[in-house]
Structure 1
Amino acid sequence: MTTALAPAPATPTRAAAADSPYRLSFARLVASEWIKFTSLRSTWWSIGLVAVVSIGLSLLMAFSYAAFAGDMPPMSVEEANRQAVQVVVFSTVLTQLLAVVLGTITVTGEYSTGMIRSTLTAAPGRVGALFAKALVVAVTMLVTSAVVFAIAAAVSGPVLPTGAIDLSDPDSSLMPLLGATVYLAIISVVGVGIGFIIRNGPGALAAGIGLVFVAPILVLFFPRLDSFQWIHDAASYLPSNAGQSLFMGSPMTGELLEPVPALVTLAAWAVVALAGGIAVLKTRDA
């Protein structure tokens, strides 16, 4: 006599997973990161500081040029645009620090509160969460920078003796502004990568600020002699110097890069930072 065995009932976990209409996807990871990102007060404080510093410095520099309007020779459209764009993007010397800070605290804040455990439990693959966070930070910084630069151009244009930016010459007007916007977005992504690598707030901030702001200044201590020329050549590929080649026309240190090499350099820094973050995220516990 044989006895038929009834099939084992499905466990509640498997049944729930089978019946649930929701599946983990990159779009949902982005949505969750967006909710976390926008619910933090530090996010809005950082964005507010970017706006205030950028617009304030642009106005200050515009009034400085206006004070010497009588001593300025006539300018071509390209020269006038170069001056107006410099006024608008001058603040990136400081706001680049806020961009890298925004990227790092988005990550290190989760490690300090322990929320990273919930994030990695919801996204066990881990890499998707990293890319979702980087995308949210980058897009936010891109849009914020574009809006802030537009406002800065609008309020500083009437003050400048040469007038507002002439958009009829895109190479000297729109392209540098676009370069500055992309630069700040990429720097925030570098901050995200550094945050995942170091996972400690003060340490990540020190590394990010050191890379973006301190490293180019250190190059100034080396005289422009043949024996130190390699240092100045290498400095051209630091993130801030490559970025300034896009929109300032001359980097703080190093040599001027053409737009394509400058963009490739910035992209390489972002890839290296994210790759380092992935390596740490996949090999170490939260």
Structure 2
Amino acid sequence: MPEVLRNQFSAELLKARTGAALPVLLLVALAFCALGQLGVVYAESDPSAAGAALTERIVRLGGSAALFATLFGALHVTGEFSSGSIGRTVLYAPGRSAVVAAKLLTATLAGLVFGLAAVVCSLAVGYAALAAEDAALALGGSTWATAAAVLAVCALAAPWGAAIGFVVRNRLGAVLGLVVWGTLGQILVLGQLPEVGRFLPEGAQFAVLGDSTGFPHAVAAPYGLLLLVAWAAAVALAGVRLFGRRDI
């Protein structure tokens, strides 16, 4: 990586580490994950007999952190537009494309942090909740495959949010849009138009996570991963083009 791009990336990492968005959203994401995992364990009539299937469901719920990773990516970009500091960022950067690339890469690393934290939280909460029910986690190859899926979904969700930030630019609009779509919107589309929803990012996430009960119409996991990459690339390209053309 050229030195100027490395410096730009280091600057974006510093913004991500020192801002409040990352720790706050991470804590909220883990709280939501933990509540869901506790609910799954205590709703199971016989946790000790559920075995690997229950452990996979517990870990799979870590995928809910993807929404918060998306919000971080959007805030990492739109925050600078709202404060007006994006102009200074562009002034000291080697080019606008370098700004986009550095922010997308920073968001990807943050997404990995969300995914890793969600997996660790899943295992810790699952272990404690199952121990209280005289049961134990059933760790195996499928469990680690589900954990890898959670990492992949979160890692792609954050740059997706950052790319949307470059397209929308307004902080409130981006956050509200992502939250409404991530909750009500996807439920309506996936429920009423499953043949369309299976090709949308949310349907692709279900595919990667292997959640056939949550969305039985999902495509196969490899195709879901390709869909997530394609969606992220398409929105990133739109963000690059718009960021290069519009005034800041």
1:38/1:174 CA distance change after superposition, 3 Å: same
TM-score w.r.t. length of structure 1: 0.77
Q: Does 1:53 align with 2:32?
A: yes
What secondary structure does 2:129 align onto?
Answer: coil
Q: Is the 8 A contact 1:59 1:152 kept in 2?
A: no
Name the structure 1 match of 2:23.
Answer: 44
What secondary structure does 1:25 align onto?
Answer: helix
CA drift of 1:28 comes to 1.1
Distance 1:202 1:120 in 2: 22
Name the structure 2 match of 1:14.
Answer: none
Higher-Rg member (1/2): 1
Name the structure 1 match of 2:237.
Answer: 275
Distance 1:115 1:54 in 2: 34
1:258/1:186 CA distance change after superposition, 3 Å: same
Question: What count of residue pairs does the alignment treat as equivalent?
Answer: 244
Q: Percent identity?
A: 22
Name the structure 2 match of 1:69.
Answer: 46
Distance 1:251 1:282 in 2: 43
Which of 82, 98, 101 aligns to 2:53? It is 82
CA drift of 1:158 comes to 4.8
What secondary structure does 2:75 align onto?
Answer: helix
CA drift of 1:221 comes to 6.1
More helix by share: 2
- Unaligned runs of at least 5 residues, structure 1: 1-22, 223-230
CA offset digits 1:68-126 (Å, max 9, x no partner): 118x8x55xxxx22321212332534x33212211111111001111101110011411
**Mean Cα deviation higher: 203-212 or 272-281:** 203-212
Mapping for residues 198-237 of structure 1, pairs under 5 Å = 198-219=168-189, 222=192, 231-237=193-199
1:281/1:117 CA distance change after superposition, 3 Å: same
Name the structure 2 match of 1:34.
Answer: 13
Q: Does 1:194 align with 2:151?
A: no
Q: Is the 8 A contact 1:81 1:165 kept in 2?
A: yes
Which of the pair has the greater relative contact order for Cα pairs under 8 Å at 6+ separation? 2
Which of 100, 122, 126 aligns to 1:152? It is 122
Deviant stretches of 4+, over 4 Å:
251-254
Mapping for residues 259-270 of structure 1, pairs under 5 Å = 259-270=221-232
Name the structure 1 match of 2:146.
Answer: 176
- Unaligned runs of at least 5 residues, structure 2: none
CA drift of 1:210 comes to 4.4
1:58/1:254 CA distance change after superposition, 3 Å: closer
